[in-house]
Structure 1
Amino acid sequence: MDRRERDSAGRPRNARPRDGLGRPLARGMAGVPRAPEGLVRTPADTVDEAQRLFDAGLPFHAHEVLEDAWKSAPEAERPLWQGLAQLAVGFTHLRRGNRVGAGSLLVRGRDRIRPYAADPPHGLDIAGLLAWVEAVRGALEDALMSDADLPGPRLRR
């Protein structure tokens, strides 16, 4: 018997509450409210909401917003949104203290968004994001800052 929680459409969903970095909490605990899954936003609304979540220290939740955009984007933009979501997950791993996982995901995200640098869509600051990834990676390698002191990404200038 399948004991996974499911949404109204029958898709598996984990309804456990989560903390600010997306870690599951025990049932019955108060967690951080999550963005609704599967919500289709305009690109501008997606970027605004993801930035709001980054600024609030909720990179896991920013990832969920960016993942929705990735899943609903036109084929030509899917690598862009996937890359942005990977940057958010990389930053989540960094905030959780997983430097190795953070570095891997930041590199994957960087590589996916790089082709959009010449003509950035939706007002995104791709050059700034690429520079942010390299600055974070450099800080990780040099152990110049604690993970908590590293700044989050700026999606627009």
Structure 2
Amino acid sequence: MDHVSEGGGGRARDRDAEGRARNARPRDGLGRPLPYGAPGVERQPEGVVRSPRETVQEAQALLDAGRPFHAHEVFEDAWKSGPDGERELWRGLAQLAVGLTHAARGNATGGARLLRRGARAVEAWSAETGQDRPYDLDVTGLMAWARASAATVEGDPAPLDARACAPRLRGE
């Protein structure tokens, strides 16, 4: 962060060089804010334009490391920078990663809701385009994983192990 300015209620707000609000607090592997000065995990840079294959590769590495919140940020970059016709795909993948994040944090209700919402988004995209393996993504497998994971967290609200439960984006 380049500077801090006064926010509402007299609180200081972190801002980037362009003056946009950006939270500079460190975060844990599931994206939860930690106290200033605490060691955290490296954050994903925002606004990175990657090829679709680079997006899938980067997101899979983050999921494999048990960092679904950070994978969601990679998908969000693709959603915001990619072609309009693919936004639903990337948005759905981001929702799957955030659903896993919530489930790993112990938020069973939010996790299940987002996993199902993400599954519907990628399913709708696949149905509209007739593509089940864009960029080698296993859309059918991801939908099945999301629905099964949602049922798991609804049946047992204990936090999921994000690393152990990470989806295989390409079905490998």
TM-score where L is the length of structure 1: 0.92
Q: CA offset at residue 140 of structure 1? A: 2.5
The one-letter amino acid paired with 1:77 is E
* Structure 2 residue 154 is matched with structure 1 residue 154: no
Say which SS state the counterpart of residue 13 (structure 2) adopts: coil
Deviation per CA, 1:14-36: give whole Å up to 9, x if none.
01000010000000111000111
Q: CA offset at residue 10 of structure 1? A: 1.8
Say which SS state the counterpart of residue 4 (structure 1) adopts: strand
Gaps of 5+ in 2: 1-5
Q: How many residues align?
A: 157
* Structure 2 residue 48 is matched with structure 1 residue 48: no
Q: 1:4 to 1:127 in 2, by over 3 A?
A: same
Q: CA offset at residue 141 of structure 1? A: 3.4
Question: Higher strand share goes to which structure?
Answer: 2
Q: CA offset at residue 115 of structure 1? A: 2.5
Say which SS state the counterpart of residue 9 (structure 1) adopts: coil
Deviation per CA, 1:102-143: give whole Å up to 9, x if none.
011111111110024341321111001011012112223333
Bigger drift between 29-38 and 113-122 goes to 113-122
Corresponding position of 2:114 = 105
Contact 1:16 1:25 in 2 (8 A): yes
Greater Rg by CA: 2
Structure 1 distance, partners of 2:65, 2:88, is 25
The one-letter amino acid paired with 1:132 is W
Contact 2:76 2:90 in 1 (8 A): yes
Q: 1:29 to 1:61 in 2, by over 3 A?
A: same
Aligned-pair identity in percent equals 55
* Structure 2 residue 71 is matched with structure 1 residue 62: yes
Q: 1:123 to 1:28 in 2, by over 3 A?
A: same
The one-letter amino acid paired with 1:20 is G
